[in-house]
Structure 1
Amino acid sequence: MVSIAKTSIYYGGVAEDVRKQIGVLTGYSEEQFPFRYLGVTLNPEKLQLINSILFGLENYWCSDLLLPKVVVNLINKLCKDYFWGTQPGKHKMIFQRWHSICSPWQEGGFNINELLSWNKALICKWLWLLSQNRDGIWDKLTKDYNMLDASIWTAQCKPHHAESWRAILKVRDSLLGLVGDQVAVQDVLDSSVLKGRFVISKVYDKLRQKHSKLGWARVLSYPEILPKHKISLIQAAQQVLSTVDKISARGYHLVNRCCLCEGALESHRHLFFRCPFSQAVRRLMLHWLGLTGSWSALALKNWLYRLLPQHGMLSWRCALVFSCLAGLVFTLWEERNNLIFLGRAKKPELLATELQWVLKIRLSASNNPHIRSWLVNK
């Protein structure tokens, strides 16, 4: 039985009248984000929900079992459909592969763990423990029942062995095929140890598929940038947003016209640099930052490139500029979608004001005293 007193409903994108009907039918109270689940503060951010809930639940099983590829593919599909908002029976055009998303921010991904490699990394912990020849109870029981007189590197799988033991041997064989021999595997495992503790993220980084780092990757380390703004910035920089020109390139016949200015053809370059509407919002945001004057698209691009920190600590001024830039990209893309799908249009002044308020809230939580001091005059 479900306890009504201990159960609440959290809505997202549900109309008010539907909420009331659900509340009357179920008797559950309506609550708001954020809330704490298993000690983790949760917000309705898709990335955080994927990492905290979906992968958190998977970790329970992945620590002992090597999930079949069918299960891994099914979980990945659920995550993809949820992240992209894909509806059952409907096709949604995506220009970014899931394996590229499952990589760190610095490599153009969204900092989601790649499930199969994470599964192997979790099991590597047991492989490392057995390779240390410890005298613990678990070690003795495992060796007496599964290994007999063999070592972890020569032990063979028997019909009576449990799936958890089979998983350890499969990961062992996979590592041997990946790096070469026992000594190399032991080096990989030992290099993942920090202060006597096995760090799963270290061995995962060695197992996962690597992608080339972005030239401006260090910008993404600013905590002042909102995650959803960061995603839009990465997608715009990689030109994987679903602009009309990219959709048309796949054979769909659409009227290619920028809905914001109703003038030129819609592309990444036009939408974020050349569109008069986006230029108007950009001028307002640059003025808010105190960067007055006439800024052409080329001048702005060159100036941002010179701002990219190559050495040393990232300055607080760079944090301000790039958090604003990421927010601007997100806001323009959201306004474009609202205009196309909802028929809602806002003036540049209103968009800039709303973005400024969002950035003020985010920047007010910064630990940098220079940023907080700058906000006092805003």
Structure 2
Amino acid sequence: QGDIKKHHRVSWQKICIPKNEGGLGVKNLETWNFAAVMKLTFRIAEGSQSQWSQWVQHNLINDQHFWTMQIPKDCSLAWQGIQKVRSRAVEFIEYNVNERNYSFWYDPWSSHGILREKFSSDVRHVSSIRDNKRLKSFIHHRKWLPPPQMSPEMRILWDSLFDKDIGPHTRKDKLIWKPHPRGIFTIKTAYAVLRLRVPEKPWEKIIWGNHIIPRHSFLLWQAVQDALPTQDKLVEWGKLNISNCALCSQGLTVIDQNQSPAIYNTIPRPKAWTQWYPVICSEQLHSYLTRPDSPSFINWRALHAATSRPPTIEHIFHLFFSCPVSSVLWENVMSWCGLSKINTSLHMEWIWIFHYFKGNSLQKLLSQAALAATIYWIWAERNETMAAAQLLGKPDLIRKNNVMGLRWKPHEEGWFILNADSSLTDDQAGYEGIIRGSRGNVNMAYYASSNTRSILYLELMGIAKGVQLALELGMKKLLIHSDSVQAIRTLLRNASNVENMLTDRKHS
């Protein structure tokens, strides 16, 4: 949404769908507000005894029928909003007939909706059912009594009513909210039926696992959505003249405004393929990369200075999978994860990843973390290369992507763990900490700088700040972890007077 010149890469609708359907799980406030207004509509329709509902009934509705009344021109925006959502609300409402006080023509008590809107005036006239008639006129001993004169259309209606249950007249009529299992209206269930729904995606746990660094997860999600600003998109948006892979570029600068892009028009931009694989390499580019004399990682630095071959278009799957630099990195990552990648066509790349990286075993979890880290560091290296024209060698790039696998025993349920630390350099000092749950989920992280250049003071302040935040969050069971033996011993000796101790230490 907004100015189309800004080249939004992911639509707001896609961002607002849940993570298991491919979005970010952000609440769509417009849809949420619509659901909140629908709650007011439901309260009016069910005849709530609240003071507000009674005021609306006597001052705004009066002797009209809520479902069919016209929207006044001089009414408030709130009342306009309530009436505008009626047509959607009636789709999810079911009338439970007991007391039989519903209007025959004006209330949507049947599966056919509001009968006055369904049948023409001629049909209503032939039926001899007046506008003010209520359901109790057509029910006797919990059985339907059709009128003596009926048109064929009305007969179809009455035939369908035999399947509708009638409760005892001693009970009050009740409105049922169908999306809720107990028939109770909640904004949560209303939002669930109103929001955009798409088929579930197989990558939720692979991308958004707790064992993956959040920034890695977010960038991997963008890569799956084909939402990263690769050079082929920048050329399409008019930001660059030439698309040339920054990692295996062959003599052309990334932003070369003196080169004419006409000679590259013969190399088409990759087109959409499937929902699994948004972009594939063009046949011309694919044949170039797979031919026997195609550059390998061993001579890619020398190739960087060559000018005899045309540039390689940088699109998402060349950058992350078919680029010689990325290919060698993937070989090392796959070997470290204990996986052997089969040779597949490029449009099957994501399908292979989502199939073989799925699972909850230790190997699978490490592989998922390695996948996200690899995508992240390839993109980071690409950005650094474009900005500084500086390339890392194979060992440096692989070292950046090193993922460590650690085993740890979860603590008992209800316990929280505080890891506090400090840092002291020549020009700055500070302390930080992170609070996790018993399963390793992050609850709180903090950082602060300090003018006091005492490592013991910084260690103690890091612990004290974490304890303070834990108390504010209601965490009563807290385990404190610190790599400073001196700080732990100091706390054990002076646990009852930590605040004064910190004050004294700061001024010492």
Q: TM-score, normalised by structure 1?
A: 0.57
Q: Is the 1:281–1:349 Cα contact (8 Å) retained in structure 2?
A: no
Q: 1:121 maps to which residue?
A: 35
Q: Is the 1:257–1:265 Cα contact (8 Å) retained in structure 2?
A: yes
SS at match of 2:85: helix
Matched, 1:107 2:21: yes
Code of the aligned partner of 1:102:
C
Q: 1:306 maps to which residue?
A: 355
After TM superposition, the structure 1 = structure 2 runs for residues 132-151 of structure 1, keeping only pairs within 5 Å, are 132-151=46-65
Structure 2 Cα separation of the partners of residues 317 and 147 of structure 1: 65
Which residue among 235, 248, 252 is the counterpart of 1:261? 248
- Give aligned pairs, total: 276
Matched, 1:223 2:269: no
Code of the aligned partner of 2:209:
Y
Structure 2 Cα separation of the partners of residues 347 and 319 of structure 1: 28
Q: Is the 1:256–1:266 Cα contact (8 Å) retained in structure 2?
A: yes
Q: Is the 1:117–1:204 Cα contact (8 Å) retained in structure 2?
A: yes
| Distance verdict in 2 for CA 1:284–1:168, change over 3 Å | same
- The structural deviation recorded for 1:207 is 1.9
Q: 1:19 maps to which residue?
A: none
Which residue among 317, 321, 325 is the counterpart of 2:371? 325
Q: 1:339 maps to which residue?
A: 385
Q: Which structure has the greater CA radius of gyration?
A: 2
Q: Is the 2:216–2:372 Cα contact (8 Å) retained in structure 1?
A: yes
Structure 2 Cα separation of the partners of residues 177 and 280 of structure 1: 56
Q: 1:211 maps to which residue?
A: 198
Structure 1 Cα separation of the partners of residues 389 and 42 of structure 2: 58
Q: Is the 2:16–2:24 Cα contact (8 Å) retained in structure 1?
A: yes
| Distance verdict in 2 for CA 1:171–1:342, change over 3 Å | farther
Structure 2 Cα separation of the partners of residues 188 and 261 of structure 1: 66
Q: Is the 1:93–1:242 Cα contact (8 Å) retained in structure 2?
A: no
After TM superposition, the structure 1 = structure 2 runs for residues 180-199 of structure 1, keeping only pairs within 5 Å, are 182=108, 190-193=177-180, 198-199=185-186
Which residue among 185, 188, 201 is the counterpart of 2:188? 201
Query: What 5-or-longer segments of structure 1 have no aligned partner?
Result: 1-75, 82-90, 370-378
After TM superposition, the structure 1 = structure 2 runs for residues 267-306 of structure 1, keeping only pairs within 5 Å, are 267-289=315-337, 291=338, 295=341, 298=344, 301=349, 304-306=353-355
Q: Is the 2:320–2:326 Cα contact (8 Å) retained in structure 1?
A: yes
Query: How big is each residue's C-alpha offset from its partner over 1:51-78, in whole Å with a ceiling of 9 and x where there is no partner?
Result: xxxxxxxxxxxxxxxxxxxxxxxxx54x
| Distance verdict in 2 for CA 1:297–1:108, change over 3 Å | farther
After TM superposition, the structure 1 = structure 2 runs for residues 344-363 of structure 1, keeping only pairs within 5 Å, are 345-356=391-402
SS at match of 1:269: helix
Query: How big is each residue's C-alpha offset from its partner over 1:121-167, in whole Å with a ceiling of 9 and x where there is no partner?
Result: 22112122223322222322232222224454234433554322221
Query: How big is each residue's C-alpha offset from its partner over 1:206-252, in whole Å with a ceiling of 9 and x where there is no partner?
Result: 22333344354554463334444333223322333222234445667
Q: Is the 1:260–1:277 Cα contact (8 Å) retained in structure 2?
A: yes
Structure 1 Cα separation of the partners of residues 324 and 176 of structure 2: 55
C-alpha root-mean-square deviation of aligned residues, in Å?
4.4
Q: 1:98 maps to which residue?
A: 12
Code of the aligned partner of 2:84:
K
Matched, 1:234 2:221: yes
SS at match of 1:164: helix
SS at match of 2:245: coil
After TM superposition, the structure 1 = structure 2 runs for residues 12-27 of structure 1, keeping only pairs within 5 Å, are none
Query: What 5-or-longer segments of structure 2 have no aligned partner?
Result: 94-106, 115-173, 251-311, 411-435, 441-508
User: Which of the two has greater strand per residue?
Assistant: 2
Code of the aligned partner of 1:144:
H
| Distance verdict in 2 for CA 1:178–1:189, change over 3 Å | closer
Structure having greater relative contact order (Cα 8 Å, sep ≥ 6):
1
Query: How big is each residue's C-alpha offset from its partner over 1:335-356, in whole Å with a ceiling of 9 and x where there is no partner?
Result: 2123213556545544554554
Structure 1 Cα separation of the partners of residues 405 and 388 of structure 2: 25
Identity between Structure 1 and Structure 2 (%): 24
| Distance verdict in 2 for CA 1:169–1:232, change over 3 Å | same
Code of the aligned partner of 2:313:
L
User: Which of the two has greater helix per residue?
Assistant: 1
Structure 2 Cα separation of the partners of residues 178 and 132 of structure 1: 13
Query: How big is each residue's C-alpha offset from its partner over 1:6-51, in whole Å with a ceiling of 9 and x where there is no partner?
Result: xxxxxxxxxxxxxxxxxxxxxxxxxxxxxxxxxxxxxxxxxxxxxx
Q: Is the 2:370–2:403 Cα contact (8 Å) retained in structure 1?
A: no
Q: 2:44 maps to which residue?
A: 130
| Distance verdict in 2 for CA 1:98–1:306, change over 3 Å | closer
- The structural deviation recorded for 1:259 is 0.9
Q: 2:76 maps to which residue?
A: 162
| Distance verdict in 2 for CA 1:178–1:200, change over 3 Å | closer
Structure 1 Cα separation of the partners of residues 334 and 437 of structure 2: 20
Q: Is the 1:94–1:242 Cα contact (8 Å) retained in structure 2?
A: no
Query: How big is each residue's C-alpha offset from its partner over 1:305-347, in whole Å with a ceiling of 9 and x where there is no partner?
Result: 43365xxx85554333223312322222232123213556545
Q: Is the 2:212–2:369 Cα contact (8 Å) retained in structure 1?
A: yes
SS at match of 2:229: coil
After TM superposition, the structure 1 = structure 2 runs for residues 40-51 of structure 1, keeping only pairs within 5 Å, are none
- The structural deviation recorded for 1:197 is 5.7
Structure 1 Cα separation of the partners of residues 42 and 195 of structure 2: 18
Q: Is the 2:20–2:201 Cα contact (8 Å) retained in structure 1?
A: yes
